[in-house]
A and B are shown apart, each in its own frame.
Chain A
């Protein structure tokens, strides 16, 4: 049994009680949620709205992304961006990026919307040219001093060793 708090459609509020230490929230006699010493459990088919899900989820409950397989923990990107660094520079898509600073040929600063907890992050990046067949490959390079919790400045180096603009530059950061 349990303590029941029932919003009855005929009699209004109906309370029944016992000494189980468990409370059931009910609507028209149907269970919606149960509260006991371990926390709150939603009845089958009942869900909390996203707006109710604020605060911090214990890390022990979030050890893998829903799409991950295997038991190793998985991590999502804190910052990502895809942009065209040639012609009129255009940001195609991004996450947690407020802006891109064009500092010169192949020289860009990615500015984060929300600062990171530390600058000891890991970056993965990719560049490619669509039309320039002589420098189809490249990589991103940065100085330690250009890596902060609020931004990172990178240069794009082509396979010939020169700093170049690339048509596709995509970048993700993990910490």
Chain B
């Protein structure tokens, strides 16, 4: 299943990490979280299909 990593920024907005195919050839999504999520941030691994494709209000997205 295609995965994404979601974390909340200090200003309340959220960032979503999309792995590259080249990374997933040799690493896991958990290893990516350890490398690319800012230190100390709580993160969540979700299915890509759970991320809305309508980005009209992208800057207002929050994690619930």
Contacts and interface: CB of A to CB of B under 8 A. Distances in A.
- Among the interface residues B9, B13, B19, B55, which one has the most CB atoms of the partner chain A within 10 A? B55
B48 A99 contact: no
A91 B13 contact: no
Contacts of A87: 53-55
Interface of B is mostly: mixed
A111 B21 CA distance: 13
Nearest to A104: B59
Contacts of B5: 99
A14 interface: no
- Give the interface size class of chain B: 20 to 34
Given A88-B48, A111-B36, A165-B55, A102 B18 contact: yes
Contact of A88 (B9, B19, B53): B53
Interface string B13-46: 1011111111100010000100110000000000
Interface in A100-122: 100-105, 109, 111, 113
Given A103-B13, A105-B58, 10 more contacts: A86-B55, A87-B54, A89-B16, A98-B19, A98-B36, A99-B20, A99-B36, A100-B20, A102-B58, A104-B13
Interface of A: 81, 86-91, 94-95, 97-105, 109, 111, 113, 151, 165
Interface of B: 5, 9, 13, 15-23, 27, 32, 35-36, 48, 51, 53-55, 58-59
